[in-house]
């Protein structure tokens, strides 16, 4: 099945047509910088531009960096507060005249890795962690996603983990790789205490530099770098949409009006 996957991030909004069986991009990726501030209406315009670029009329799978339930955003850690309570799915469906499925960005990346990447066939408890501006988490139990875990916002030693151990924190504070890995060790140790995972998959842009920090990690469970890197969000969103959008009624379209 071909689905248009769209990945909404803090600096760019990227889209590509995905062959969901192969987990491959069927056409070259198209990127537009994220509007600033990234208010719902402005982001929806960019999503529509991406759909137009591909002359797309089929289903769309879309990531968003927040808690997403039935298409509605319930948090706004690194995005504009006006997203809280916004039905992103309805907004994008209206803007694109397509059926849209929206899910959390880390959940989407996890779906891609579990289907076709580092987590393929993995049983037990698997964590996908995306280390970037924020810390995104996706938890899988025997291959099934437990959505919206948001474990980057856990409190550890009296402080929130995300602003202390994200890749942004590493860059902002100029932390050496070893020092940053030490922070990740404290965080992963806590996740192991809580959930006894069987595998950690590390994604986000920094996973390309895995050789710099993965050797310092001392978890009980194995830690591996994500395999799909930049495209995991786009591919995962499309795969997730393929399982649900086909069953939804077509969106009432702007094009029809
Ligand atoms: C958000 C998550 C998101 C993560 C990565 C966090 O700040 O709360 O929803 O998955 O950043 O983008």
Digit-coded pLDDT (tens) for 7-33: 999 889 999 999 999 999 998 999 999
Phi, psi of 137 (to 5 degrees): -130, 140
pLDDT digits (tens, 9 = 90+) for 73-99: 999 998 999 999 999 999 999 999 999
Of the residues 80, 132, 135, 226, which should be mutated to test ligand 1's pocket, given the most ligand atoms within 8 Å of the CB? 135
Per-residue model confidence (pLDDT) at position 246: 54
Domain 2-107+231-244 annotated CATH 3.30.420.40: yes
Cα angle 168, 10, 23 (rounded to 5 degrees) comes to 100
Q: Which of 19-28, 149-158, 211-220 has the lowest mean pLDDT?
A: 19-28
Average pLDDT over the chain, rounded to whole?
94
* Three-state DSSP class for residue 6: strand
Reading the block at residue 250, the tokens are 């077509």
CA 204 to ligand 1 center in whole angstroms: 11
pTM of the entire predicted model = 0.94
Domain definitions of the chain by residue range: 2-107+231-244, 122-228
Of the residues 13, 68, 77, 151, which should be mutated to test ligand 1's pocket, given the most ligand atoms within 8 Å of the CB? 77
Distances (CA, A) of 85 to 95, 108, 174: 18, 20, 36
Fold of 122-228: Nucleotidyltransferase; domain 5 (3.30.420)
């Amino acid at each position: 099945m071909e689905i248009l996957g769209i990945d909404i991030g803090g600096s760019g909004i990227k889209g590509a047509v995905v062959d969901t069986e192969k987990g491959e991009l069927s056409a070259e990726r198209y990127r537009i910088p994220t509007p600033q501030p990234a208010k719902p209406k402005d982001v929806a315009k960019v999503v529509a531009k991406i759909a137009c670029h591909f002359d797309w009329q089929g289903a769309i799978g879309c990531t968003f960096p927040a808690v997403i339930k039935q298409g509605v955003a319930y948090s706004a850690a690194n995005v504009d507060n006006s997203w809280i309570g916004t039905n992103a799915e309805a907004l994008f469906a209206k803007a694109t005249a397509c059926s849209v499925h929206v899910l959390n960005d880390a959940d989407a990346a996890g779906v891609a890795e579990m289907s076709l990447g580092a987590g393929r066939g993995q049983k037990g408890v698997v964590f996908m962690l995306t280390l970037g501006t924020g810390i995104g988490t996706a938890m899988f139990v025997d291959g099934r996603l437990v959505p919206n875990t948001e474990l980057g916002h856990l409190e550890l030693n009296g402080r929130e983990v995300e602003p202390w151990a994200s890749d942004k924190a590493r860059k902002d504070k100029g932390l050496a790789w070893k020092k940053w890995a030490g922070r990740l060790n404290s965080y992963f140790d806590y996740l192991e205490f809580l959930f006894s995972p069987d595998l950690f998959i590390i994604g986000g842009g920094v996973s390309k530099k895995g050789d710099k920090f993965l050797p310092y990690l001392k978890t009980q469970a194995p830690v591996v770098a994500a395999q799909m890197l930049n495209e995991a969000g786009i591919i995962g969103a499309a795969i997730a949409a393929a399982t649900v959008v086909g069953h939804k009624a077509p969106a009432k379209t702007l094009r029809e009006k």
